Structure 1
């Protein structure tokens, strides 16, 4: 799925991704596979597993 990080808490190491349809999915640093650190406004590609975003990468746009 394609989406955008709308929130990421560095201390808690958790955040929220909004997908193209407006759905919101929690993710954590364990599921982050992208370059650098995740942050708001970053476009991402991800998979859903048990309602959470996993395998979160920087999207190739």
Structure 2
């Protein structure tokens, strides 16, 4: 299995801004966004986790 990291990583500051905007939008639409969710997305955006790991985690969380 090939694990690729996000090519266009962003800084922690950029990730925090993006996560803040996205989580506010999701909460407004009635979704719950946990601290764990934010941390995991941040780890992908900053290149600490791979995109493949992100996809697996989402599939497991939502049982798809």
Q: What is the TM-score with the length of structure 1 in the denominator?
A: 0.23
Q: More helix per residue: 1 or 2?
A: 2
Q: More strand per residue: 1 or 2?
A: 1
Higher relative contact order (CA 8 A, sep 6+): 2
